[in-house]
Amino acid sequence: MTITLLALLVALAATSSASAGILISIAETGEDVVATVSGSITLPGESSLTGGNNSSRMAPSQSFFEFGTIQASVESKDLYAFSEPFPAFGTSGYSGPNYTSATESGIADNERFVVASSGLAMNQAYAGGEISGSLTWATQTFATLGLTAGTYSAALDGDTSQTVTIQVGPAPDNAVPAPSTLALVLGGLMLSGYPVRRRLRTA
């Protein structure tokens, strides 16, 4: 039984660590709505060239999320297609407070990107590494921004282990733990099982 459980945890850790990507966590924080971005992504080699974007804003019903301003006159971004269209994550379109520029914090120039139904548009200067930063819509709620709680995700067409996920509200309780968490659980189980085996041998 112990061996089976340990094998299952190891398999889960391997599966979880095999995929990577960008996580956009959107939460109601006090009187504001805050989107926190984390993760890193390995981009496929081929892309199509596109222009800049105006500001940090979103249109949930159109599967649209802008993270940072990319000036078309001085910067460009590459578009990487999704294997399946990115799902809508709310009801608001290209109008209303959701499409008003959010306050940006901690966004590096080369980490700016756009999520659209068809794909991920990434600043051409991005060369890998951790992406971080946040956007704040002041005095707003999920309702006023037209956001629907849930988990929304799509994988890149050239490498389906690379994903973009938008998490609106708390993550579900049955979410797969991160590899680091699984490693701690595995270590705890191994340590707790040692005294049991020792008592069995000395009985």
Residue 58 lies in a domain: yes
Residues spanned by the domain of 115: 20-170
Q: How many CB atoms lie within 10 A of CB 77?
A: 23
Q: How confident is the model at residue 184 (pLDDT cuts 50, 70, 90)?
A: very low
Say what the pTM is. 0.77
Residue 33 lies in a domain: yes
**Is residue 123 a contact partner of residue 70, using CB atoms and an 8 Å limit?**
yes
More confident position, 102 or 199: 102
- The lowest-confidence range among 8-12, 23-27, 143-147 is 8-12
Residue 67 lies in a domain: yes
Residue 199 lies in a domain: no
Q: What CA–CA distance (Å, rounded) separates 161 from 163?
A: 6
Total of domains in the chain: 1
**What is the average pLDDT score of the chain?**
81
Residue 102 lies in a domain: yes
pLDDT tens digit string along 51-91? 666 689 999 999 999 998 766 555 678 889 999 999 999 99
Residue 158 lies in a domain: yes
Best mean pLDDT range from 17-31, 132-146, 183-197: 132-146
pLDDT tens digit string along 40-51? 999 987 787 766
| Mean pLDDT confidence for 80-105 | 95
Residue 26 lies in a domain: yes
Spatial neighbors of 178 by CB under 8 A, at least 6 apart, are 16
Nearest to 67 by CA among 96, 109, 97: 109
**Concatenated DSSP letters for 97-153?**
GGGSPPEEES--GGG-EEE-SSEEEEETT--SS---EEEEETT--HHHHTB--EEEE
Find tokens 């733990």 and name the residue: 177
Residue 121 lies in a domain: yes
